[in-house]
Structure 1
Amino acid sequence: MAVAGGNSAGAVLRAVLEQGVATRTAIARVAELSPATVTTQVRALVAAGLLIEHPETASPAGMGRPHSPLELNSAGNVVIGVHIAAEHVTVAVLDIAGTVRLTHRVPHPSLDPDAILDGAAAEVRRLRAELSERVIGLGVAVGGWVDSSAGAVVDHISLRWRNVAVRQYLSERTGLSVGLDSHTRALLHAEQLFGKAHNASATVALFAGNVIDVAFAVHGRVHYGPRSAAGAITRLAGGEAADAALIECTDRALVARARRESLAVSGIRDLIAAAGRDEAARELFKDRARVLGRVVAVLIDLLDPDAVVIVDPALVRVPGVRATYLDVVRRFSSCERPEEVVTGSSFIGRALETAAGTVVLQQLFTDPLAVVAAAAPVPPITAFNSE
């Protein structure tokens, strides 16, 4: 599994995730650990409630020593994810194998961060009260410039947020351990853990929504940069014209253009549905693919990745969009066979939920025992003190 970093407990947990049900011998081989280390870490992970050890069984055909298979305790451990988009919050529950159990959207009452975060916290508390499983933590994913270390949204153009201390706010109001990350970096972590970038050494993810941003990983390590600012592509091609072209690629811009062309759509989902039967609607998504395909071409020549994951629902749902992306990449990059490199998200229809939950799950599969230790709940407070 091409995920860099972490300790031996994390390596054991990732090996079990990869194999589904695994013996200690198989774990040692996949995780590249000694049998003694595997035994020690398995014991700790079982005690922590993250692994289940099944009764001892005989080897096939009665050959070799009996073994006790291990698997993730997905039934007993979940995370709650909050994705903050331009118009709504998505709150979801995922098990530790990355499966989305349930999801719910909460429209923004306004763009005021307190109002949005209050609504998210209330929904998290409601879900938490209904869950019988252990909640490992709360993951929060959002677009724009996100400083994961500081737990703050530094700048979000659509929401008009600057320096919003999201982690502290939600931690105090939910009583949960909270992680915060850019949704594109979180989705790249998810592709490494649960999806198509499973074995890739270098990967790029491009997110197309109400923000357009990028994440990349080299040798399995997702890059953040010293200011946690890696991934901004607004000025990638240079100049004000490039800025304007990318802004015109956002979901809101596409919907606005559709309405100017007399297409009766209420949002991006309606526009995607309309594109199945209306050529004018399809052409809007192809226009976006022509612009973002140039971005992908630059990134391919710059980073030479094994895989490029495009998180754009139109890629697979709107006829002709995938072909447009590939044609542009082929034309403007050195990649002669982009169909072997460029792919869609592994999480179509659940990308936002997966991004949010993976903020915690990525930490869990890096240092599981520390995450479980930090997951002990504290009573939430009803008022937030920013001082």
Structure 2
Amino acid sequence: MDRSIVEVPMVSGDKSAGAVLRAVLEEGTAPRSAIAKLAGLSPATVTSQVRALTAAGLLIELPETAGPAGMGRPHSPLVLDIAGNVVIGVHIAADHCTVAVLNIAGTVRLSHRIPHATLEPEVILAAAAAEVRRLRAELTERVIGLGVAIGGWVDSAAGTVIEHGTLPWRNVEVRQYLSGHTGLPVTMDSHTRALVHAEQLFGHAGSTAATVVLFAGNVIDVAFSVHGRVHYGPRSAAGAITRLAGGDTAESELAQCTDRALVAAAHELGLSVRGVPDLVSVAVGDPAAQTLFVNRARILARVVAVVIDLLDPDAVVIVDPGLIRVPGVRAAYLDGVRRFSACARPEEVISGSSFFGRVLETAAGAAVLQRLFTDPLAVVAAAEQAVRPVGI
């Protein structure tokens, strides 16, 4: 059957609508005067963009209210229409896909994990597309778009996985496939870059000048923003750290840091665990399991140290499931950064993810939500033009 391939249009030159929407997101509930101040826009521009965003179904104007204690001119606060708009996110990991629904404020509404039956791209993508279609048929809210996040080298502009460290994927046209099989406009990114966007929009990073995210899973990679802008590089190739730990053994050392390597090491120790979540639970009280996470932190701390000295970021977010729960892991990161970098107080810079327990879902949703909060009117226009495949 014929399916129309829908892609999110390129961002327009006018960023004022996105600035207004981000101001409302940051404030929660805000009058036009506060939006104008926060977004750095004139009152006339705010008025016109609020009108457009309200007509587009992204903002709701609340009933008129007076200022504090009845003082000041009445105003009509604005809020995001989180009840009427959602996005669907697909995160593709080494052994499963996570398909989730998020509202436009970045809150995960529901999540479903689909184990891989095979590592073949078309089989994995077909299963993900089927779940997206099922969710879309059940949702009563407007679906703004589909976000896709995956590790490895992702060409975001082309919507293609160039290569993946664990999955045997090379030059897989993910966006084209999922657009055609879901009818939704698709935005795709590496999960680590998507998490930088998520930290800026919904997390602790906010408007910090420079933010770094290090992701420790079955793929180890880094993404960063400078002056609030996430860096991609030619064909989105920035972020590979295979040789960054230093020395001739760097590649093998980083290979020891993947989730699969930790689980394999745990099995060698006689620990009966099915995956990293199980291993984290065991490591809370088992010194041998703790050592596996601590050793990974010591290796990755050298990577963090190099990045800190290179970029001098305001915030470094480490996405490591052992960081918060496993004793000794946070200390290993901090001690390693002190040893290998010029950063004397890494505890003031380093933190865990703002989305503990929902990292994969948030990364997938943020891939499309960052586009929404950059050029909302174009993204909504693409959503309205989306074609439902037969059977949805």
TM-score between both structures, scaled by the size of structure 1: 0.96
SS state at 1:79 partner: strand
1:349 aligned partner? 357
8 Å Cα contact 1:173/1:381 also seen in 2 = no
1:385 aligned partner? none
1:21 aligned partner? 29
**What is the Cα deviation at residue 240 of structure 1?**
4.4
Q: What percentage of residue pairs aligned between the two structures are identical?
A: 74
8 Å Cα contact 1:207/1:213 also seen in 2 = yes
**What is the Cα deviation at residue 237 of structure 1?**
3.4
**What is the Cα deviation at residue 236 of structure 1?**
1.5
SS state at 2:300 partner: helix
1:11 aligned partner? 19
C-alpha change, 1:261 and 1:336, in structure 2 (3 Å) is same
SS state at 1:21 partner: coil
Q: CA RMSD in A?
A: 1.1
**What is the Cα deviation at residue 380 of structure 1?**
2.2
1:378 aligned partner? 387
**What is the Cα deviation at residue 66 of structure 1?**
1.1
The correspondence of residues 111-122 of structure 1 with structure 2, limited to 5 A, is: 111-122=119-130
2:268 aligned partner? 260
8 Å Cα contact 1:172/1:381 also seen in 2 = no
Take 1:6 and 1:167, find their aligned partners in 2: how far apart are those partners? 26
Deviations 1:201-243 (A, max 9, x none): 0111000000000000000000000121000000123554100
Deviations 1:293-313 (A, max 9, x none): 010000000110001000111
2:251 aligned partner? 243
**What is the Cα deviation at residue 60 of structure 1?**
2.2
**What is the Cα deviation at residue 64 of structure 1?**
2.3
Take 1:145 and 1:366, find their aligned partners in 2: how far apart are those partners? 23
8 Å Cα contact 1:80/1:92 also seen in 2 = yes
2:3 aligned partner? none
Q: Which runs of 5+ in 1 are unaligned?
A: 383-387
Deviations 1:321-342 (A, max 9, x none): 0011001101110000000000
Take 2:341 and 2:69, find their aligned partners in 1: how far apart are those partners? 54
Deviations 1:97-150 (A, max 9, x none): 000000000000100000000000000000011100000000000000000000
8 Å Cα contact 2:156/2:235 also seen in 1 = no
Q: Which runs of 5+ in 2 are unaligned?
A: 1-12
Take 2:282 and 2:199, find their aligned partners in 1: how far apart are those partners? 29
2:169 aligned partner? 161
One-letter code aligned to 1:144: G
Take 2:14 and 2:289, find their aligned partners in 1: how far apart are those partners? 45
Aligned residue pairs, count: 378
SS state at 2:127 partner: helix
**What is the Cα deviation at residue 179 of structure 1?**
0.6
Residues 284-293 or 312-321, more deviating: 312-321
Deviations 1:18-76 (A, max 9, x none): 00000000000000100000000000000000000011112223332210000000000
One-letter code aligned to 1:308: V
The partner residue of 1:208 within 210, 216, 220 is 216
**What is the Cα deviation at residue 199 of structure 1?**
2.7
Matched, 1:359 2:348: no
Take 1:352 and 1:379, find their aligned partners in 2: how far apart are those partners? 26
Take 2:245 and 2:218, find their aligned partners in 1: how far apart are those partners? 19
